[in-house]
């Protein structure tokens, strides 16, 4: 009688290959080579319950090499997560539950969307950070209610990507022993052997990062893989990298170990030859032997028992530590426990000029009183981005209970880790850097948007107001780039109340990441600003006429230019409406009636100004209006001089408005 585990692994290989063959598209090599390590992990070491895929104390699994998605889909089918054989047959097809790369929220059992290589690896380290913080906060010696691991399978491509190095370096510093990565070392990429581009000793690199490095010489040796997993789990002082030497496309005689197995279907004839080689029926497609299904049922029940045991433990915990259990409910609830919209403390500020980054810092520290699970920090810039939470402690290897995160100069990994924290559950994450470096975080912001994760991105030093640092540090096109991204809300507030509105929107969002873009230089406090900023755009200062002579609009620091220009124009008999537009995304989502009330169609004379690219403003000013902006890079000089030289001034708004009015 054949070993049931071998039969199951070979079934995973063939299901993966057949799904790809039917789609005529996909990557069979990784699923066929990595099937043994994935099976051994899921069957014998990973704590998960297919009956409740969202159980908070489950182990997390990430296929960082997401192009091998048929491996994950085959596992989800066999382990009973609800994917059917028909779903596997619809791989990469319109509307299917089995898209080309795993998508969180789309397919049950997928713990994260893994897009660019390495992003999943870094996201997993964010999950491990969340687990460590929750364990430090809630666990008691006899009640480890937070006690789980995060596992990832990464390939040669993941190991080459910079995001993986950033994340691994921080994980080693933080001693995140509950993060365990498998390196599927098959030495093949699309272009051929890794010897072309990648000859370093990965194990030594990870040892230098402070990781435990384990080696499995034969990727089919379940006993060796199992021992490595248990050794990794036993070392809580170091994250672990298990280097598993595999053969890409294992089982296919014509393609095993070759780059042609990586990213193209095997071909019908090769599928037949692979089935012969793996001793599976030749005349059946997408076939799972009954003994495999029976075997998987027993494994599924094991996960259910684990959760039942945890439920009993938590019940005892809640009886003994009622206050902590109540706090656990607050942390794990999506709902805020306080009415922040009507909380006067959040909306009340001194009426003196301040930088919106400084105002944001005040708001963050107000929010910590009401939101205990606010968890975040900056890429080595907290003093500049004003994102440090007072009296909340620092998250470190010595103390995981701190709520301030220090990411070091690692913007790309930071944003992926923020996604991991949000995906894990029980935290409200925020991260921060200079706005110009949003170019570094953008791939993971895009994943936040795809996964509908309410991560808050605090982005300061928002314009040429950076001054002497010069064009390399002055964002120009970044606002347009963020505004163009689906399901991302960008706020660029003009004063304290608008900054509070931005934070309120971010902290109450459930399916949208929010970018809050903030000034380095001081801006005025406007008596007229209001919570209506939550509508994205509103009338800050209205004309005395029922129909204004013209409309001036701006965001952020340039609202001061239109506010003051309106006063000068009124002296010339031109009565204008001043519209503050902190968020185009939110304004565009309002009703047509509201948008018409702010920007009436019959007022065609319009001027907009923003210290950034003009792209995006023309939908508001129309053919008869003008946009003042920067469709070029900045310069190094004191901020006031740079603004003056590039026409981001009250005087220039006044002159341009006069010309538009005279048309």
Per-residue pLDDT tens for 528-558?
999 999 999 999 999 999 999 999 999 999 9
Contact 244, 37 (CB under 8 A): yes
The confidence score (pLDDT) of residue 292 equals 97
**At a CB cut-off of 8 Å and minimum separation 6, what does 643 contact?**
464, 465, 611, 649
Percentage with pLDDT > 90 across the chain: 99
Q: Mean pLDDT in the chain?
A: 97
The confidence score (pLDDT) of residue 445 equals 98
Residue 279, Cβ neighbours under 10 Å: how many? Answer: 10
Whole-angstrom CA distances from 433 to 135, 379, 436, 477, 484 are 28, 6, 8, 16, 20
Confidence of residue 231 (pLDDT cuts 50, 70, 90): very high
Residue 240: strand pairing partners: 180, 212
Q: Is the pLDDT of residue 145 over 90?
A: yes
Per-residue pLDDT tens for 260-288?
999 999 999 999 999 999 999 999 999 99
Which residues are known catalytic residues? Answer: 411
Q: Is the pLDDT of residue 1 over 70?
A: no
Q: Is the pLDDT of residue 41 over 80?
A: yes
| DSSP track, 212-270 | EEEEES-TT-HHHHHHHHHHHHH--SS-EEEEEE--TTTT-TTTTTSGGGTSS---HHH
Confidence of residue 2 (pLDDT cuts 50, 70, 90): low
CA 405 to chain centre: 16
Contact 635, 615 (CB under 8 A): no
The confidence score (pLDDT) of residue 566 equals 98
Mean pLDDT within 609-619: 98
C-alpha span between 631 and 615 (Å, rounded): 8
Q: Is the pLDDT of residue 338 over 50?
A: yes
Tokens of 279: 């001793």
pTM: 0.98
Per-residue pLDDT tens for 383-413?
999 999 999 999 999 999 999 999 999 999 9
**At a CB cut-off of 8 Å and minimum separation 6, what does 268 contact?**
21
Per-residue pLDDT tens for 116-142?
999 999 999 999 999 999 999 999 999
**At a CB cut-off of 8 Å and minimum separation 6, what does 64 contact?**
114, 117, 118, 119, 120, 121, 124, 152, 153, 154, 155, 158, 164, 181
Query: CA-based Rg of the chain, rounded to a whole angstrom?
Result: 28
What SS3 class is residue 182?
A: strand
Confidence of residue 635 (pLDDT cuts 50, 70, 90): very high
Per-residue pLDDT tens for 487-531?
999 999 999 999 999 999 999 999 999 999 999 999 999 999 999
The confidence score (pLDDT) of residue 355 equals 98
Per-residue pLDDT tens for 439-470?
999 999 999 999 999 999 999 999 999 999 99
C-alpha span between 35 and 42 (Å, rounded): 11
Q: How far apart are the first and last CA of the chain?
A: 90
Cβ neighbourhood burial of 381 (10 Å; 0-12, 13-18, 19+): buried
Per-residue pLDDT tens for 636-661?
999 999 999 999 999 999 999 999 99
**At a CB cut-off of 8 Å and minimum separation 6, what does 620 contact?**
553, 581, 599, 606, 608
C-alpha span between 37 and 9 (Å, rounded): 9
Contact 286, 89 (CB under 8 A): yes
C-alpha span between 427 and 243 (Å, rounded): 32
């Amino acid at each position: 009688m054949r070993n049931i585990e071998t039969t199951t692994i070979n079934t995973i290989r063939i299901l993966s290959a057949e799904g790809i063959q039917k789609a005529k598209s996909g990557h069979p090599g990784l699923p066929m080579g990595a099937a043994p390590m994935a099976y051994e992990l899921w069957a014998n070491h990973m704590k998960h319950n297919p009956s409740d895929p969202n159980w908070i104390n489950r182990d997390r699994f990430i296929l960082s090499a997401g192009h091998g998605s048929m491996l994950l889909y085959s596992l989800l089918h066999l382990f009973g997560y609800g994917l059917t054989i028909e779903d596997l047959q619809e791989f990469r097809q319109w509307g299917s539950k089995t898209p080309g790369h795993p998508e969180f929220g789309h397919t049950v059992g997928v713990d994260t969307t893994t897009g660019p290589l390495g992003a999943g690896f870094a996201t997993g380290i964010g999950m491990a950070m969340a687990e460590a913080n929750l364990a430090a906060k809630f666990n008691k010696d006899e009640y480890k209610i937070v006690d789980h691991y995060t596992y990832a399978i990464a390939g040669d491509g993941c190991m080459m990507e910079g995001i993986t190095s950033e994340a691994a370096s921080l994980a080693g510093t933080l001693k995140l022993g509950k993060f365990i990565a498998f390196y599927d070392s098959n030495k093949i990429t699309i272009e051929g052997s890794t010897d072309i581009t990648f000859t370093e000793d990965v194990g030594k690199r990870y040892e230098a990062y402070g990781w435990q490095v384990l080696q499995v010489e034969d990727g089919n040796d379940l006993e060796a893989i199992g021992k490595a997993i248990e050794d990794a789990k036993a070392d809580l002082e170091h994250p672990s990298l298990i280097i598993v030497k595999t053969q890409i496309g294992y089982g296919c005689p014509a393609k095993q170990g070759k780059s042609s197995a990586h990213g193209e279907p095997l071909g019908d004839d090769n599928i037949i030859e692979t089935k012969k080689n793996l001793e599976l029926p030749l005349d059946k497609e997408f076939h799972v032997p009954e003994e495999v299904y029976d075997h998987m049922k027993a494994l599924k029940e094991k996960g259910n028992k684990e959760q039942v045991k945890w439920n009993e433990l938590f019940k005892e915990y809640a009886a003994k530590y009622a206050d902590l259990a109540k706090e656990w409910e607050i942390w794990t609830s999506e709902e805020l426990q306080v009415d922040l919209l009507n909380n006067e403390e959040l909306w009340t500020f001194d009426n003196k000029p301040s930088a919106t980054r400084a105002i944001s810092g005040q708001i963050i520290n107000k929010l910590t009183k009401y939101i205990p699970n606010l968890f975040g920090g900056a890429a080595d810039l907290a003093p500049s981005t004003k994102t440090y939470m007072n009296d909340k402690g620092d998250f470190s290897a010595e103390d995981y209970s701190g709520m301030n995160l220090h990411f070091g100069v690692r913007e790309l990994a930071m944003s992926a880790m923020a996604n991991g924290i949000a995906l894990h559950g029980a935290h409200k994450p925020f991260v921060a850097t200079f706005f110009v470096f949003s170019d570094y975080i953008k791939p993971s912001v895009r994943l936040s948007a795809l996964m509908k994760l309410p991560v808050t991105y605090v982005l300061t030093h928002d314009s040429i107001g950076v001054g002497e640092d010069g064009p390399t540090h002055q964002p120009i096109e970044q606002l347009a780039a963020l505004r163009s991204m689906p399901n991302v809300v960008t706020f660029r507030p003009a004063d304290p109340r608008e900054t509070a509105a931005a934070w309120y929107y971010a902290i109450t969002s459930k399916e949208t990441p929010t970018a809050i873009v903030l000034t380095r230089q001081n801006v005025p406090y406007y008596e007229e600003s209001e919570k209506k900023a939550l509508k994205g755009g509103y009338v800050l200062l209205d004309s005395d006429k029922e129909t204004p002579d013209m409309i001036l609009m701006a965001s952020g620091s340039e609202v001061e230019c239109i506010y003051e220009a309106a006063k000068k124009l009124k002296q010339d008999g031109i009565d204008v409406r001043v519209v503050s537009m902190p968020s185009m995304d939110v304004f565009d989502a309002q009703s047509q009636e509201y948008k018409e009330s702010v920007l009436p169609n019959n007022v065609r004379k319009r001027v907009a100004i923003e210290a950034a690219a003009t792209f995006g403003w023309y939908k508001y000013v129309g053919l008869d209006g003008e946009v003042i902006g920067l469709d070029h890079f900045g310069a190094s000089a004191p901020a006031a001089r740079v603004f003056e030289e590039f026409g981001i001034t009250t005087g220039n708004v006044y002159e341009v408005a006069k010309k538009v009015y005279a048309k």
